[in-house]
Structure 1
């Protein structure tokens, strides 16, 4: 069950769109402890319409490739997790979870987890073994790492070009003979 109903979200967003009250004013008016949910709802409604605020009750499973594309989009475009979630029309908490697991475990952390209930009685307690990546996962990890390095190198290049241009155009940095 969600904390706030879909009707409540739509009501607040419509009040904000009417232009009579700010996000902070709405949070105070309705006794909300934080303005961030309202900000997120407004942002989502602006990008995808009011129907996006209606609570979805599906438990969709995403492939490892889709999760990697979300993480890659987030990293390469250097946008917030909220904007990434809105772009892919998924939950921001889902994006947070995938980024956390990717940062801590790499591509392996994005594997599908086994479903169902665990057995109540384990025969012997095994040492927790580290997951071994498959060949495909190793390649995906390497590709993402190389794309990140390339992006960093391009950013460095652009910064150096801008610095060179600024120095060439600055009258104080030119030597006077």
Structure 2
């Protein structure tokens, strides 16, 4: 079971089987105290892909062509978000909603995004490391980089000290 899964696969299957046995969606949502949209989603995924479609699905890396195909199907074929998710086996409507918004704002280029946290220093200067003796220019460049780093560190330390002192003055 996934880390954020509230309902197990066995429970989902039990709800879907009860629906297929003739129980209504409203009745199931009341009996099991779950949202109607969850029941509808589980039923749709089950009808589309069987019991395996109720398993947790993580880490899909969709190509930009696939994303474009899904968005075009949504926009041009008149499919709802739910129907699109079932047809293309996308686990969450919110994923599709994000794709649509990206496509409407930026076109196909909106699908090319860097994932994760951005780097804090983009063009980090590197100290030149060579084997053998360094030339005078290389020595000066390395010393310059070290001095800049030391200066930045001291500035940051000074700012933190001033911030701490200001916070203490406010408390008084």
Please indicate the TM-score interval, normalised by the length of the shorter structure.
0.5 to 0.7
3-state SS of 1:90 partner: coil
**Long gaps (5+) in structure 2:** 124-172
What TM-score results when the alignment is normalised by the length of structure 1? 0.60
Q: Root-mean-square deviation (CA), in Å?
A: 1.9
1:98 maps to 99
1:146 maps to none
2:72 maps to 72
* Structure 1 residue 98 displacement after superposition: 0.5
* Structure 1 residue 122 displacement after superposition: 7.2
1:54 maps to 55
Question: Does 2:31 match 1:29?
Answer: yes
Residues paired across the two proteins, number: 119
Q: Which runs of 4+ in 1 moved over 6 A?
A: none
3-state SS of 2:43 partner: helix
1:108 maps to 109
2:39 maps to 38
Write out aligned runs for 1:1-177 (5 A): 1-19=4-22, 21-32=23-34, 34-57=35-58, 59-91=59-91, 92-111=93-112, 113-120=113-120
* Structure 1 residue 104 displacement after superposition: 2.6
The structure-2 alpha-carbon separation of the partners of 1:26 and 1:86, relative to structure 1 and needing over 3 Å to count, comes to: same
Q: Distance in 2 between matches of 1:122 and 1:75?
A: 38
Q: Greater relative contact order: 1 or 2 (C-alpha under 8 angstroms, separation 6 or more)?
A: 1
